[in-house]
Structure 1
Amino acid sequence: MQKVKTRLLDGDDIDRTLSRMAMQIVEHNHGVENLAIIGIYTGGVYLAQRIQVLIQEQFGINLPTGSLDITLYRDDWSLATQNPVVKKTAIDFALQDKAVVLVDDVVYTGRTIRAALDAIMDLGRPRCIQLAALVDRGGRELPIQPDYTGLDVQVGMGEHVHVLLREHDGVDEVVLVRQE
């Protein structure tokens, strides 16, 4: 079977989308006071860092940003492997009274976000938690919806969305992959 790729976003599209999402985050939160950005490993960390830079450049502030590993919070980690690879959670600021924006590359079933919510609540009690996702591919199993979305795409059986980011993959693009 051959894999067929359809490019959904290129590097310029991703840059424009992140700029729009950054401004929506600021507008929705009535500014940047008590705002924090936390990326979920792996792609969400890079996207959170980019959003942080966009907001900081626009408003000249130091925006608290962190990274979150949810490996041991997943409800399926023992099914995937007996030796999970745990990355470092790096949140060096208090969550109390913060409007926390969780950032992920793709939202699908909602299980990753559920795990991230559990992890965040173990670290503190933010004022609110919002979700930003570059791609919403539908197919939810849990009642979780992003507050900020770059691209909505309906994905069929046998199709997958791959987000490639220059920090990790050397190129920026979002592709839809399907078996033929």
Structure 2
Amino acid sequence: MKQKAMILDQPAINRALTRIAHEILERNKGVDHLMLVGIKTRGVPLAERLRQKIKTIEGVDVPIEEVDITLYRDDLTYAADRGEPLVNRADFKGNINGKKVILVDDVLYTGRTVRAAMDALIDFGRPAQIQLAVLVDRGHKELPIRADYIGKNIPTSQDEIVVVNLAEIDDTDFVSIFQK
């Protein structure tokens, strides 16, 4: 793969997450009944970063969980064939009943990951509302799913790959586009 362009560096990622945190608070009129749920793998550190930003702004520690959608994917065989990582199901300890759940992920592409995450959440309870926050929306949706909060829209072709690196997992923060 050949890198075409770096889209977001560490300061740009930080600014995008700060803006998303403010948008979440504004839309939900504060933190009452709010819960962040990160989709494994990179959605989890992004949710934690959002939690820290919300705590800085509001002085409240919002509950956070993680969801592993492996068992809910409709393209499990296809994903394995492409060499995508398959992770184990995490324990979901929180109560989502009646909560406004902010589902957090790194890249919104076809919408299948988000659909699987919503299926998993419904198995854990009945949230009052599910909202979606993503660092990058790259287009090419296959399902009628849209993000409520977007760090950056990046129009891409099918021959491109958006790579998100986060310090918690990859030791550095950046978002780049690579040519397949």
The TM-score, its normalising length taken from structure 2, stands at 0.93
Q: 2:133: which partner in 1?
A: 132
CA-CA distance at 1:178 after TM superposition: 1.1
> Does 2:109 align with 1:115?
no
Q: CA deviation at 1:143?
A: 0.2
Call closer, same or farther: CA 1:177–1:79 in 2, change over 3 Å: closer
Q: Which residue in 1 is equivalent to 2:143?
A: 142
* Cα RMSD for the two superposed structures: 1.5
Contact map agreement 2:69 2:117 (CA 8 A) in 1: yes
User: In the TM superposition, what whole-angstrom CA distance separates every residue of 1:52-100 from its partner, at most 9, and x where no partner exists?
Assistant: 0110122111210010000010001134449x84334243221111000
1:176 is paired with a residue whose SS is strand
Displacement of 1:8: 0.2
* 2:153 corresponding residue in structure 1: 152
**What's the counterpart of residue 162 of structure 1?**
163
Tell me the CA shift for residue 156 of structure 1.
1.1
Give percent identity, aligned residues only: 46
Mapped to 1, the partners of 2:155 and 2:111 lie a distance apart of 15
AA at the equivalent of 1:68 = V
Partners of 2:91 and 2:22 lie apart in 1 by: 24
Aligned residues: 177
Aligned-partner residue type, residue 35 of structure 1: L
The answer for unaligned runs of 5 or more in structure 1 is none
Q: Which residue of 2 aligns with 1:24?
A: 23
AA in 1 matched with 2:68: D
Asked if 2 retains the 8 angstrom alpha-carbon contact of 1:39 and 1:104, the reply is yes
Q: Deviations over 1:4-34 (max 9, x none)?
A: 3300000000000000000100110011000
Runs (5+) with no aligned partner, structure 2: none
Q: Equivalences for 1:41-52 in 2 at 5 Å?
A: 41-52=40-51
Aligned to 1:135, what secondary structure does the other structure show?
strand
SS for the counterpart of 2:118 is: helix
Normalising by structure 1, what TM-score? 0.93
Residue 100 (structure 2) aligns with: 99
Quote the Cα distance in structure 1 between the aligned partners of 2:4 and 2:80.
28
1:116-143 Cα offsets, whole Å, 9 max, x none, are 0100000000000000000000000000
Report SS of the residue matched to 1:174: strand
Distance 1:53 1:88, change over 3 A: farther
Name the stretch that deviates more: 89-98 or 156-165: 89-98
Counterpart amino acid of 2:22?
Answer: M
